[in-house]
């Protein structure tokens, strides 16, 4: 029986770049999650008899919302729901399941790299039929509906058993619990040279440590790295998904994956160390004694992708988000293929991938992926690195040195100032925008500003426009600073400051990054007045 539940709108249900994220206590309010899910179903395009995919990263409150989402989907006319066993589906795996089974879309319940637990974060994101995040036109329609919603629908009934693979009937809809790992693992085996990787694992030529951070990629990494590729048991660390990620922050950066970093800088380091985040779409790559920035990883993967079977025929293009360093652009130029610069948010890559204009994409926030799905994919990046190591027989440090000697080196860092009072963060950005016209020609230490703007983007496929995507300050020497407020937090605002200095192939390629960026750090403070606006004299996180 379908029940109609009267409701009233909640303020602030506007999806950000990665869906709606709030504290668990916000989502636990009566009708809060239900309003948002119903709003998605009210505006989502879907034919009769559609399939919906549901899964999440295993964080606290996932199971509760999944059961409600199943009942709401049944009341809204879906014919079938595919849900990962235990409520688990990594974000890239969910994208693949949507695409493989011809679903009209999917709900991914995750707050990505944000902490989990009763006092921490939760999120819901809607992906469309191509497997990618809903574009802005859809998220704006969802938001508009949340502001007027007056009812949500559900089929009354008991919870389904999320821990047993099989089918249940919910009203007129079939709810099918599937193996969350198998389809994704099969896809990876199609993309990469598993025999070559397996051989290096067997003879010890390549060793690895993978930190799943008690998040969603644990089951995937156990199956792929240890079972299918034969790396020894214990290769995967923190491999059991926990509702609070073991009390840790599942963000694969040098702060929150410090234990892995320390291992990789020690004499006991394996060939390559890697980590992934809460929902499995981000990655961290560290070679023995060398950290590879996400921007450099994108460029190096693109330059060597032809060594993997799926990319042996070459790339159609490389796309990067605007704050990501320009290292990938130099690879694209050498390969004679397009380089696309988009706003932050994986949804902006979707049209390029669908139109065949790009094959590999990446963001500086530890996200890389290809046209195999429509999300960034942490394990995909790790497997491509393992494929490259297996074929070349070279260590990560050697590959990096050869890359910089060919293309030059983009010294790069991101400084995050977290949980700033929103009004102060907005005032800082407003002051920056007001100052843009007067910046060209000014000098800050040895740096002279050549141009400054607020980044805007027109999609080359569908013509959609996105404005106010971040302030760029470019210098005559080729360096730049980008200032941007992040949309992935749940409290206050996060100011991200991106610093980039390019050294040509015959330049200084083996220096320490902080020293090479010191002039840019000083210029960023002088230009933006970060301390005056925020009271912060240093970033909370440096990556």
Residues tagged active-site: 112
- Residue pair 143/14 in contact (Cβ under 8 Å)? The answer is yes
Closest C-alpha to 315, from 269, 351, 353: 353
Alpha helices for 44-181 (secondary structure H): 62-75, 91-100, 136-146
**Residue 30 contacts by C-beta under 8 Å, 6 or more apart in sequence?**
none
- Residue pair 371/318 in contact (Cβ under 8 Å)? The answer is no
> DSSP secondary structure string, 165-190?
-EEEEETTEEEEEE-TTHHHHHHHHH
- Residue pair 104/40 in contact (Cβ under 8 Å)? The answer is no
Quick one: tokens of 28? 């636990």
Closest C-alpha to 13, from 43, 49, 56, 46: 43
The SS3 assignment for 497 reads strand
From its phi and psi, is residue 127 left (phi > 0), alpha (psi between -120 and 50) or beta? beta
Note the Cα 489 to chain centre separation in Å: 13
Burial class (CB in 10 A: 0-12, 13-18, 19+), 268: exposed
Measured distance CA(64)–CA(87) in Å, rounded? 10
Closest C-alpha to 468, from 418, 430, 438: 430
**Residue 403 contacts by C-beta under 8 Å, 6 or more apart in sequence?**
296, 299, 300, 303
From its phi and psi, is residue 147 left (phi > 0), alpha (psi between -120 and 50) or beta? alpha
Quick one: tokens of 68? 């409600």
Measured distance CA(393)–CA(175) in Å, rounded? 47
- Residue pair 276/148 in contact (Cβ under 8 Å)? The answer is no
Measured distance CA(408)–CA(414) in Å, rounded? 20
Quick one: tokens of 88? 């688990």
Tokens 């999609």 correspond to 459
Measured distance CA(77)–CA(3) in Å, rounded? 13
Quick one: tokens of 362? 């990446």
Measured distance CA(72)–CA(353) in Å, rounded? 32
Query: Could you give the dihedral angle defined by the CA atoms of residues 473, 475, 479 and 485, in that order, rounded to the nearest 10 degrees?
Result: -10
Q: How many CB atoms lie within 10 A of CB 302?
A: 29
Measured distance CA(87)–CA(246) in Å, rounded? 18
Measured distance CA(229)–CA(267) in Å, rounded? 25
Measured distance CA(176)–CA(163) in Å, rounded? 11
């Amino acid at each position: 029986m379908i029940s109609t539940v009267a409701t009233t709108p909640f303020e602030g249900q506007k999806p950000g770049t990665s869906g709606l994220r709030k504290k668990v206590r916000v989502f636990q309010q009566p009708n809060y999650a239900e309003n948002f899910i119903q709003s998605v179903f009210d505006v989502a395009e879907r034919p009769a008899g559609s399939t919906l995919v549901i899964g999440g990263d295993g964080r606290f409150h996932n199971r509760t919302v999944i059961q409600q989402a199943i009942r709401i989907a049944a009341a809204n006319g879906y014919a079938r729901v595919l849900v990962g066993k235990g409520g688990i589906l990594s974000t890239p795996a969910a994208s693949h399941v949507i695409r493989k089974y011809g679903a009209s879309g999917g709900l991914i319940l995750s707050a990505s790299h944000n902490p989990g637990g009763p006092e921490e974060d939760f999120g819901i994101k809607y992906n469309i039929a191509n497997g990618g995040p809903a574009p802005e036109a859809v998220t704006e329609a969802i938001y508009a509906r949340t502001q007027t919603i007056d009812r949500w629908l559900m089929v009354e009934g008991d919870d389904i058993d999320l821990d047993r693979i099989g089918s249940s009937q919910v009203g007129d809809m079939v709810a099918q619990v599937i193996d969350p790992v198998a389809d994704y693992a099969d896809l990876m085996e199609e993309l990469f040279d598993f025999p070559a990787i397996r051989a290096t694992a067997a003879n010890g030529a390549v060793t690895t440590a993978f930190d799943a951070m008690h998040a969603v990629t644990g089951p995937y990494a156990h199956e792929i790295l240890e079972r299918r590729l034969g790396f020894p048991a214990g290769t995967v660390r923190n491999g059991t998904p926990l509702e609070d990620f073991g009390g840790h922050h599942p963000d694969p950066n040098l702060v929150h994956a410090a234990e892995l970093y320390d291992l990789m800088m020690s004499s006991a380091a394996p060939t390559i160390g890697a980590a992934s985040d809460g929902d499995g779409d981000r990655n961290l790559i560290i070679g023995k004694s060398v950290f590879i920035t996400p921007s450099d990883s994108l460029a190096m993967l693109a330059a060597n992708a032809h060594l993997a079977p799926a990319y042996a025929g070459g790339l159609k293009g490389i796309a990067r988000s605007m704050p990501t360093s320009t290292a990938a652009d130099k690879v694209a130029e050498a390969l004679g293929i397009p380089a696309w610069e988009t706003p932050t948010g994986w949804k902006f890559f979707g049209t390029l991938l669908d139109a065949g204009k790009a094959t590999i994409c990446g963001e500086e926030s530890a996200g890389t992926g290809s046209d195999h799905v429509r999300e960034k994919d942490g394990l995909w990046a790790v497997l491509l690195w393992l494929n490259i190591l297996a074929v070349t027989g070279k260590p990560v440090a050697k590959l990096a040195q050869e890359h910089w000697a060919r293309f030059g080196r983009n010294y790069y860092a991101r400084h995050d100032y977290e949980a700033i009072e929103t009004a102060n963060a907005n005032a800082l950005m407003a002051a920056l925008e007001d100052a843009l016209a007067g910046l060209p020609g000014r000098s800050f230490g040895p740096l002279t500003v050549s141009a400054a703007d607020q980044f805007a983007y027109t999609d080359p496929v569908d013509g959609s426009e996105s404005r106010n995507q971040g302030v760029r300050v470019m210098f005559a020497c080729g360096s730049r600073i980008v200032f941007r407020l992040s949309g992935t937090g749940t409290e206050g605002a996060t100011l991200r400051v991106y610093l980039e200095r390019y050294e040509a192939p015959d330049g200084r390629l083996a220096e320490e990054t902080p020293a090479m960026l010191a002039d840019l750090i000083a210029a960023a403070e002088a230009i933006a007045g970060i301390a005056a606006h925020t009271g912060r004299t240093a970033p909370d996180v440096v990556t």
